[in-house]
Chain A
Amino acid sequence: MDLSAISPTLLVASLMVAATPILLAALGEMVVEKAGVLNLGVEGMMIMGAVTGFVAAIESGSPWAGFLAAAIGGAAMALLFGFLTQVLLSNQVATGLALTLFGLGLSALIGQGYVGIKANSLGRVDLGALSDLPFVGRVLFGHDPIVYLSLLLVAGVWAFLRFTRAGLILRAVGESHNAAHALGYHVRRVRMTAIAFGGACAGLGGAYLSLVRVPQWTEGMTAGAGWIALAIVVFASWRAERVLVGAYLFGGITVLQLNLQTAGARVPVELLSAAPYLVTILVLVLISIRARRGGAAPADLARPFHAST
């Protein structure tokens, strides 16, 4: 084994790329859950974002149009979920699962004519001399714009929830929708907005896969990333900065296992491939143990709200 072949700089740079889809999706889902809604359809929204983004980028020739379409596609899927759960008061868990299955099927249908086509990808941002600095140059200044957008979103969501009045209202709705309602806040409107935001983020995450990371469209290409995103929200105990840590940790393990294999580590390949998922399970168990002593979940998470109650 030749571990010296693994360059820490490139490892960190690749893990940021590998983590960006789940980071975006997890961040969106965190906001949704902060508003008291559990949307298990992240996978479905991501894959719809991946396909609408890819199709739009191919048809228009611009990856930016692709990302825009992906955000709209993801949000549209999310609003479908919102309509069912917030207006028709359907069960959130069941509706979320249905949304995932629906998204996987519909995306396969939409993407049928687009398999194996090459899309224009986004280039890296050129920051001139900054990008040439050792280590930090490649890690901090050598990425495509969406990586920076995802980091900005993390900071934005963090600041929004912590410092703004709107963020306070959103958290209030998630902690006690009855109290928020009694104070005159529009619980359903707040939740719908959060759901749409979550969908748009998941859509962007999906499009990052199909437009930058791969870049190609294949059926089922999200391959469970949406579920990982859901786990990361719990792992992060509903805090934006920890979502970032969780996503990068997961991305890091994914990239590291491939690098270890390439470097010739004598560890069974199957174990290396399963490593990211094993770590996710482990983390969830640890979190659950802690959760029994209070926990950090919004108090009204997944509870239906109707103004009459």
Chain B
Amino acid sequence: MTNKTFLALAATLGLTGAALAQDDPIKAGFIYVGPIGDGGWTYQHDQGRLALEEEYGDRVETVYQESVPEGADAERAITQMALGGADIIFTTSFGYMDATNAVAEKFPDVKFEHATGFKRDHPNVSTYDARFYEGRAVLGTLAGHLTETNKIGYIGSFPIPENIQGINSAYLHAKEVNPDVEMVVTWAYTWFDPAKEADAARAMIDQGVDVILQHTDSTAPQAAAEEANANGGRVFTFGQASDMAEFKPEPRVASIIDNWAPYYIERVGAVMDGTWEQQASWGGMAEGEVVIGEITDAVPEEAKAAAEEMIANITDGSYHPFTGPINKQDGSEWLAEGEVAEDGELAGMDFYVEGITGDIPN
């Protein structure tokens, strides 16, 4: 090819490229911390992505990358997606916080949406989160009713505010229906590692825990409970992030489901209309972002009724799971009678409430 034809070709391509850009679909990118088949957290984000495609059809194009480790590799993956022409990028795990902000600085025209974080260093970074603690309150109520050994286990992922809110919320509401309840917390230091999660669940079951809540994303703890039940145990679990329906009617007796579809549709729509603005979104049951999955018949009727009433009260805003009087672990007052926790305080929660033993690791 001579230089001249090459230039001509390049010019033609360039022109058609520019012409196409007019009605290019919006490209939405997703960075996932686990595989889309994890059956939990990442699966739900991917369902949100699919809902986006369903809603906008040809007007949107989505790309995603699975199992991106939190850390240096995340920055590379996000950069690559931005270079690949994404208009809006959803980074769907807490650990992507710094990487998201670092890449956002380099790509001011790309919109970034970081899930569960609190850093918005640049005008093109928004954060979004769901009020999982609302769901945990319902699960805590059920757990308090179900436990016979009075030991409830919580498999934490990382000691970050989101987990601590969940632990506190679940404990407070379990204690409300069962004052003798004890909370056993194990930190797995991973979001998704079936082997580790299964081992953690087994250690809990071995020590007499009979209701397990998990803040990690795989179904392995459910499988461990199922195995224990097959051998004469009595252990209950809750689906995490996704319904985990294959473990119904027990050990899985209910689930806390993340529904990201409404948010993704709204935000990508805003990019299309040019109305996208930085924000910190925190939707809960009222917005339909936190949903409680089917409560199975393994749960006694009165417990089910109590849980359903709580769902109704949280959804219509008449009840806040963190309503005083609540003391901190050391006995000092946190919320006075009737006082409701402020969002800012919840977002940075770094203490256990009174009654939970053990320390939060740094």
Closest to A142 in B: B231
**Contact of B35 with A214 in the complex, beta carbons under 8 Å:** no
**Contact of B361 with A7 in the complex, beta carbons under 8 Å:** no
**Which residues from A are CB-within-8-Å of B202?**
14, 258
**Contact of B198 with A214 in the complex, beta carbons under 8 Å:** yes
Instruction: Name the distance in Å between B205's Cβ and chain A's nearest Cβ.
Output: 8
In the complex with contacts A14-B203, A262-B153, A269-B189, A209-B195 CB distance below 8 A:
yes
Specify which of A116, A142, A219, A258 is in contact with B199 (CB 8 Å cutoff).
Answer: A258
**Which residues from B are CB-within-8-Å of A259?**
203, 206-207
**Which residues from B are CB-within-8-Å of A268?**
361
State which residues 241-267 of A face B: CB under 8 Å. Answer: 254-255, 258-259, 261-264, 266
Q: Which of B194, B357, B361 has the most CB of A within 10 A?
A: B194
Closest to A114 in B: B37
Give the size category of B's interface with A.
35 or more
Q: Indicate whether A58 reaches chain B with its CB closer than 8 angstroms.
A: no
Query: What are 7 pairs between A and B in contact, CB < 8 Å?
Result: A5-B207, A115-B36, A118-B246, A262-B209, A268-B361, A269-B187, A270-B189
Q: Indicate whether B43 reaches chain A with its CB closer than 8 angstroms.
A: yes
**Contact of A216 with B194 in the complex, beta carbons under 8 Å:** yes
**Contact of A258 with B195 in the complex, beta carbons under 8 Å:** no
Q: CA A18 – CA B219 in complex, angstroms?
A: 19
**Which residues from A are CB-within-8-Å of B67?**
219
**Contact of A118 with B203 in the complex, beta carbons under 8 Å:** no
Q: CA A115 – CA B219 in complex, angstroms?
A: 11
Contact with A along B199-229 (1 / 0, CB 8 A): 1101110111100000000111001000100
Specify which of B153, B186, B192, B194 is in contact with A214 (CB 8 Å cutoff).
Answer: B194
Given A214-B195, A218-B218, 19 more pairs with CB closer than 8 A: A14-B202, A116-B35, A116-B37, A118-B219, A213-B198, A214-B194, A216-B194, A216-B220, A219-B67, A221-B195, A223-B193, A254-B199, A258-B186, A258-B202, A261-B187, A261-B203, A262-B186, A262-B209, A269-B187
**Which residues from B are CB-within-8-Å of A18?**
199
**Which residues from A are CB-within-8-Å of B219?**
116, 118, 216
Q: Indicate whether A85 reaches chain B with its CB closer than 8 angstroms.
A: no
Closest to B198 in A: A214
In the complex with contacts A116-B35, A118-B223, A216-B194, A258-B200 CB distance below 8 A:
yes
Q: Indicate whether B8 reaches chain A with its CB closer than 8 angstroms.
A: no
Instruction: Name the distance in Å between A70's Cβ and chain B's nearest Cβ.
Output: 16
Q: CA A118 – CA B189 in complex, angstroms?
A: 23
Q: CA A3 – CA B205 in complex, angstroms?
A: 15
**Which residues from A are CB-within-8-Å of B204?**
262
**Contact of B359 with A266 in the complex, beta carbons under 8 Å:** yes
Q: Indicate whether A164 reaches chain B with its CB closer than 8 angstroms.
A: no
Q: Indicate whether B38 reaches chain A with its CB closer than 8 angstroms.
A: yes
**Contact of B207 with A7 in the complex, beta carbons under 8 Å:** yes
In the complex with contacts A262-B153, A264-B184, A269-B361, A214-B223 CB distance below 8 A:
yes
Q: Which of B35, B153, B187, B207 has the most CB of A within 10 A?
A: B207
Contact with B along A218-232 (1 / 0, CB 8 A): 110101000000000
Instruction: Name the distance in Å between B183's Cβ and chain A's nearest Cβ.
Output: 10
State which residues 212-265 of B face A: CB under 8 Å. Answer: 218-220, 223, 227, 230-231, 246
Closest to A216 in B: B194
**Which residues from B are CB-within-8-Å of A7?**
206-207
**Contact of B35 with A262 in the complex, beta carbons under 8 Å:** no
Q: CA A14 – CA B206 in complex, angstroms?
A: 9
Closest to A123 in B: B230
**Which residues from A are CB-within-8-Å of B218?**
116, 216, 218
**Which residues from B are CB-within-8-Å of A290?**
none
Q: CA A118 – CA B219 in complex, angstroms?
A: 9
**Contact of A258 with B35 in the complex, beta carbons under 8 Å:** no
Instruction: Name the distance in Å between B258's Cβ and chain A's nearest Cβ.
Output: 16
Instruction: Name the distance in Å between B251's Cβ and chain A's nearest Cβ.
Output: 13
Q: Which of B204, B227, B230 has the most CB of A within 10 A?
A: B227
Q: Which of A7, A209, A261 has the most CB of B within 10 A?
A: A261
**Which residues from B are CB-within-8-Å of A95?**
none
In the complex with contacts A254-B199, A255-B199, A6-B223 CB distance below 8 A:
no
Q: Indicate whether A65 reaches chain B with its CB closer than 8 angstroms.
A: no
Instruction: Name the distance in Å between B247's Cβ and chain A's nearest Cβ.
Output: 8
Closest to A222 in B: B195
Specify which of B198, B207, B220, B223 is in contact with A263 (CB 8 Å cutoff).
Answer: B207
Q: Indicate whether A306 reaches chain B with its CB closer than 8 angstroms.
A: no
Instruction: Name the distance in Å between A54's Cβ and chain B's nearest Cβ.
Output: 11
**Contact of B186 with A261 in the complex, beta carbons under 8 Å:** yes
Contact with B along A264-306 (1 / 0, CB 8 A): 1010111001000000000000000000000000000000000
Q: CA A270 – CA B36 in complex, angstroms?
A: 28
Q: Indicate whether B293 reaches chain A with its CB closer than 8 angstroms.
A: no
Instruction: Name the distance in Å between A51's Cβ and chain B's nearest Cβ.
Output: 14
**Which residues from A are CB-within-8-Å of B227?**
121
**Which residues from A are CB-within-8-Å of B207?**
5-7, 259, 262-263
Q: Indicate whether A109 reaches chain B with its CB closer than 8 angstroms.
A: no
**Contact of A215 with B223 in the complex, beta carbons under 8 Å:** yes
Q: Indicate whether B57 reaches chain A with its CB closer than 8 angstroms.
A: no
Q: CA A35 – CA B166 in complex, angstroms?
A: 55
Contact with B along A96-125 (1 / 0, CB 8 A): 000000000000000000111110010110
**Which residues from A are CB-within-8-Å of B194?**
214, 216, 218, 221
**Which residues from B are CB-within-8-Å of A118?**
219, 223, 246
Q: Indicate whether B358 reaches chain A with its CB closer than 8 angstroms.
A: yes
